[in-house]
Structure 1
Amino acid sequence: MEKPPSRLLNNTPAPDNRRPTLIRRRDMKMARSPHAYVRGNTAQYYDWLHSLPGQRLPRGPEIWICGDCHVGNLGPVAAADGTVQLHLRDFDQTTIGNPTHDLIRLGLSLASAARGSSLPGIVTSHMLQHMLLGYQRAFFPGHEEIFAKPAVVKASLREAQLRSWKSLARDRAIDGRHAIPLGKNFWPISPTERAAIEEMFADPAILTTITGNDVPDTTQRPAVVDAAYWVKGCSSLGLLRYAVLVEFNGKRRLLDIKEAVAATSPRYPRVSMPRDNAKRVLQGASSLTPALGGRMVARRFMERGIFIRELMPQDLKLEIEQLRMEDAVLTASYLAYVVGRAHARQMDAGTRSIWLTELLANPAKSTGTPQWLWNSVVQLVASHEAGYLEHCRKYAQSE
């Protein structure tokens, strides 16, 4: 079923002319602040990392890592039983690699947030020290109850728990007819894309997995109510990304379809991982955040690998526009704890002990922070600051 012609008369690019607008939007978002530049530039992080001799960083166990562990890729996630906790929530770059890479990426993100909030350098020093202490606490059971949550996390979790389907529809500006509005964030799709989406969702098994229904009603096929190309994040450039509204078993559900591409993050050699990138993303998500991985499926779509998840009202991105001095150290410690929890669940007791010993060895006398972490973050902040200014110069020249 095609959309009415009136819905295609918005000021949005045609399906075959998305790239120029996407490039412009990506560049504009990354020019907003150094923190936004860090969040949107995974490639520069790994370019720097590849230039280092491997022995300069601790070598961790072979586990699934996020691969793009910045602050914006953490946030509240709803489990099937309705509980909401802070978790890793983005796995495009997930791979079986060195967990040190997640810690440095998080440290860079926190340091950039501190600089963007005009906090003094001594606060960044304390943040990195307590970040490792928080990460370490995740390896010892029973700390969730006594680990104080920072104000920004409490506020995010409180907001998530109060949200409903109406909240999600309001955020996405879905109208009373439950249509996806075309405009700034949603663009029209081609008849070929629409047909491929409808064909894919004709399989009830997809919705059964995503929604957690044990026994599908095979007499009732999912109905695609509406679909649009979704302009979201800096990684949308050139990739397939769709928002799809479906009706299944009497309920309307909003689904996210996202193309999976090869990870930039380095993997350990000679480890076994799915060759299909969508299956890699699914396996990494299931290992790091089971509450989210259990609500995802991997499929082939228009000859590309994609993964699908339902957008739950409680699933939010952790937004830190301003990092307050009184909350900065606790925030760094708690976010590292969340990352540590995702890493630790993949290790047995012996591996945990060996990894922590390696990770915390040879702390600097002045700060207690291992020299490899401090040096890495300092060099990366300098590298990204220069990259950010150059990005802004080129963006201004193109105006």
Structure 2
Amino acid sequence: MPKKKSSALPGPNDRQARLTARRNMKMAESAHAYVRGNTSKFYEWLDGIEGHTLPEGPAIWICGDCHTGNLGPVANTDGDVEIQIRDLDQTVIGNPAHDIVRLGLSLATAARGSDLPGVTTARMIEALSEGYEHAFDATAKDRPIKNAKPEAVRVMMKEAVRRTWQQLAIERIEDVEPSIPLGKRFWPLDKEERSEIEALFERREIADIAVALRKNADEENVSVIDAAYWVKGCSSLGRLRYAVLLDVDGGAVEGDDLCLIDIKEGLKAAAPRYPGQDMPRDNGERIVEGARHLTPALGERMRSARLNDRSVVIRELLPQDMKLTVEQLTQEEAMKAARFLAMVVGKAHARQMDKAGRRAWLSELRRARSKSLDAPSWLWKSIVALVSSHEAGYLEHCRRYALTPAL
């Protein structure tokens, strides 16, 4: 049954101002948050650098927004959990060097936020380079990196494997009861939005998302229990975002019979794509296709569709899907995080290349070393320039927005 609309919560025509203000305030929380929420500034910098400053890597699907918050535990349909790329909004067929630089920027700002010395950032970039290259090295199996996972990752993986649907419900919707509570995180829908969402899950190809992980379930029994506008994310604030609670078998009870769905608008990617590459024109289809190449465990759980005449991506949220938080780091953990996360990204890139392609890209990555840094000079110079421009941009952002109360 649709819930009574609260006069204090905005409807569809009043959301944008609040969402913009909230996004600006979240980005003002720290320089690291500013980097996470400002993909466009990264690509503005990229557009302004001289040609051939970065190597032109092989044409593969890249994340396009490869910061630490977009990596984390992801479960596949068999329940296996691994640290993977978990947000593919910006995915395109492009230059893998862009993902490396973006990840390096994110790690460098996290190190700055942890008040680590500059030499630690330099060592992090060396560790990042080592971890990424390890994924392309044919001899790497004979030289495994010992104790590669940082403590934060080990703890999160243990938590992810143990998590239940009840924990997911309490974390995401604050209750295990079959409803979505309206408030700060969830805003009411109008009748048209509710009707379109219900119609969406009457389609078997969409409803099968909810039955993919459940034996003997039938798409025809899937029904919408509740739905709300979801105030979620940072860079995504302002686009369509819905939380949908589904009943899978027609007898709503807590646990396996319920399914929490995330519907997210797919917008045009800011990440530059290589010309002449065959990619879906629809943004939702592009995101799903990129996920299938970069993070198959996630891609097989996603669908694209049209909602309110906009392209959207639909996926079930699982208890094991978590966001990796890299905030306060010690020097040792900083280098472990850089090495491990770069290895995750490297594996996502490497699985799309043949043996010759991996060998050629590895050779390119190992060029242009200096005597004082065991990492490509283009990577270090790019991160130094980006940290400088983003810190200046962050301070200006705080002046413009953090002094004004949020709506």
TM bracket (short chain): over 0.9
2:81 is the alignment partner of 1:75: no
Cross-structure match for 1:385: 391
Structure 1 residue 147, shift from structure 2 partner:
5.5
| Cα 1:378/1:28, change in 2 over 3 Å | same
| Cα 1:288/1:220, change in 2 over 3 Å | same
Alignment of 1:173-252 (within 5 A): 173-209=173-209, 211-212=211-212, 220-249=220-249, 251-252=257-258
CA distance, structure 2, for counterparts of residue 265 and residue 221 of structure 1: 40
SS in structure 2 of the partner of residue 220 of structure 1: helix
Q: 1:210 touches 1:297 (CA, 8 Å); kept in 2? A: no
Cross-structure match for 1:272: 278
Q: 1:182 touches 1:188 (CA, 8 Å); kept in 2? A: yes
Range with bigger deviation, 235-244 or 25-34:
235-244
Q: 2:72 touches 2:84 (CA, 8 Å); kept in 1? A: yes
Q: 1:262 touches 1:277 (CA, 8 Å); kept in 2? A: yes
Structure 1 residue 226, shift from structure 2 partner:
0.3
* Matched residue type, 2:399: R
CA distance, structure 2, for counterparts of residue 223 and residue 174 of structure 1: 21
| Cα 1:81/1:11, change in 2 over 3 Å | same
2:104 is the alignment partner of 1:107: yes
How many residue pairs get aligned? The number is 396
Q: 1:204 touches 1:216 (CA, 8 Å); kept in 2? A: no
2:21 is the alignment partner of 1:15: no
CA distance, structure 1, for counterparts of residue 47 and residue 180 of structure 2: 42
| Cα 1:228/1:219, change in 2 over 3 Å | closer
**CA deviation map 1:53-110 (0-9, x unaligned):** 2211011000000000000000000111111100000000000000000000000000
Range with bigger deviation, 16-25 or 145-154:
145-154
Q: 1:194 touches 1:227 (CA, 8 Å); kept in 2? A: yes
| Cα 1:396/1:78, change in 2 over 3 Å | closer
Cross-structure match for 1:363: 369
CA distance, structure 2, for counterparts of residue 128 and residue 146 of structure 1: 18
SS in structure 2 of the partner of residue 56 of structure 1: coil
Q: 2:90 touches 2:270 (CA, 8 Å); kept in 1? A: yes
Q: 1:104 touches 1:376 (CA, 8 Å); kept in 2? A: yes
* Matched residue type, 1:52: I
| Cα 1:144/1:25, change in 2 over 3 Å | farther
Structure 1 residue 397, shift from structure 2 partner:
4.2
Cross-structure match for 1:306: 312
Structure 1 residue 301, shift from structure 2 partner:
1.2
| Cα 1:378/1:12, change in 2 over 3 Å | same
* Matched residue type, 2:118: G
Alignment of 1:76-95 (within 5 A): 76-95=73-92
1:334 to 322, 332, 340: 340
Where does structure 2 lack aligned partners over 5 or more consecutive residues? 251-256
Cross-structure match for 2:46: 49
Cross-structure match for 2:302: 296
2:350 is the alignment partner of 1:344: yes
CA distance, structure 2, for counterparts of residue 186 and residue 144 of structure 1: 45
Where does structure 1 lack aligned partners over 5 or more consecutive residues? none
* Matched residue type, 1:220: E
2:3 is the alignment partner of 1:4: yes
SS in structure 1 of the partner of residue 149 of structure 2: coil
TM-score normalised by length of structure 2: 0.93
CA distance, structure 1, for counterparts of residue 397 and residue 57 of structure 2: 34
2:114 to 109, 117, 122: 117
Range with bigger deviation, 358-367 or 98-107:
358-367
Instruction: State the identity as a percent.
Output: 53
Structure 1 residue 321, shift from structure 2 partner:
2.0
Cross-structure match for 2:253: none
